[in-house]
Amino acid sequence: MAEADNMTQSPVLDALINRASMPPRLFSDKGPPRKDIEKMLEAAMSAPDHGAVRPWRFHIIEGDARHKLGELFAEVLLDNDPFAPTAAIEKAKGRPLRAPVIVTVCAKVDPSRAPKIPVMEQVVTAAAAMEHVVIAAQAMGYGAIILTGPNAQAGKVRSAFGLNRDDELLGFVYIGCADEPAPPKERPDARDFTSDWTG
Ligand SMILES: Cc1cc2nc3c(=O)[nH]c(=O)nc-3n(C[C@H](O)[C@H](O)[C@H](O)COP(=O)(O)O)c2cc1C
């Protein structure tokens, strides 16, 4: 019992239970230095990975590169709606400017490893790596939030990140400093999603 009590005070458990995404409006202009981003990505390397496929790919976007991503988002908008109003175009351009750093997380899968390691499992692995980045960022005192929207599926954006047909762009992880902590959230009761399976 003493052991279980100790475990409920683990800082890792605390970080997991209290993780909360940073609303983009709370990011300041200050972002993590490169060495801190590298530490977050080091944390991603321990994501569970069937067959050591290493399907995760990270693209760090900061500074002016965010404007280039914004231009791409605006192109996607105009491809879908050539008469999009100026305000919508400006909004699309501004999306990547909401945080000082974005880490784009992709799953670069190897279909030849299936069926032993199905493509779905490889995508799950990259998604786990993405969550490690988010948790590491928060553990280091930064705010983070995964955002996607239709841009993440758009052909132009996918090819800008070098994705093939079976690959996935899993999310844009927006990371930065904030003047206040992410607002705490009410979480559901895990028991509502749990049952004993007895066959
Ligand atoms: C793959 C993925 C994509 C997401 N895309 C968006 C998005 O485009 N817009 C959004 O508001 N939230 C998006 N979210 C949800 C946020 O990252 C966040 O989880 C949500 O705001 C709830 O906050 P919480 O993480 O503190 O519970 C996405 C989450 C995941 C896992």
Ligand 1: nearest atom to the Cα of 170: 1
pLDDT value for 1: 44
pLDDT band at 46 (very low <50, low <70, confident <90, very high): very high
| % of the chain with per-residue pLDDT over 90 | 92
pLDDT, tens digit (0-9, with 9 covering 90-100), for 92-126 = 999 999 999 999 999 999 999 999 999 999 999 99
2, pLDDT greater than 50 = no
4 pLDDT more than 80: no
Q: 39 or 2, which is more confident? A: 39
On the question of pLDDT at 136 being above 60, the answer is yes
Does any ligand 1 atom lie closer than 6 A to the CB of residue 148?
A: yes
Predicted confidence (pLDDT) at residue 85 exceeds the cutoff of 80 = yes
Confidence of residue 9 (pLDDT cuts 50, 70, 90): confident
Alpha-carbon distances, residue 163 vs 92, 125, 127, 137, 169 (angstroms): 22, 17, 16, 25, 8
What is the atom index within ligand 1 of the atom nearest the CA of 23? 21
Given a contact cutoff of 8 angstroms between Cβ atoms, the answer to whether 169 and 106 are in contact is: yes
How confident is the model at residue 184, as a pLDDT? 87
Residue 8 pLDDT greater than 90, yes or no: no
Q: What is the mean pLDDT of residues 51-57?
A: 98
**The model's pTM:** 0.95
Cα 38 off chain centre by: 15
Domain boundaries in the chain? 24-63+99-180
Kindly report the CATH number that applies to the domain delimited by 24-63+99-180: 3.40.109.10
Give pairs for 12-21: CB < 8 Å, separation 24+. 15/135, 15/138, 15/139, 16/135, 17/187, 18/184, 19/134, 19/135, 19/138, 20/138, 20/181, 20/182, 20/183, 20/184, 20/185, 21/134, 21/143, 21/144, 21/145, 21/146, 21/182
Tell me which residue has its CA closest to atom 12 in ligand 1: 147
pLDDT of the residue at 6: 58
Q: Choose which residue among 102, 146, 185 to substitute to test ligand 1 binding: the one with the highest number of ligand atoms within 8 A of its C-beta.
A: 146
| Confidence band of 177 (pLDDT split at 50, 70, 90) | very high
**Ligand 1 pocket, mutate which of 17, 21, 132 (most atoms under 8 A from CB):** 21
- Provide the pLDDT for residue 7: 62
Distance 8 CA to ligand 1 centre (A): 27
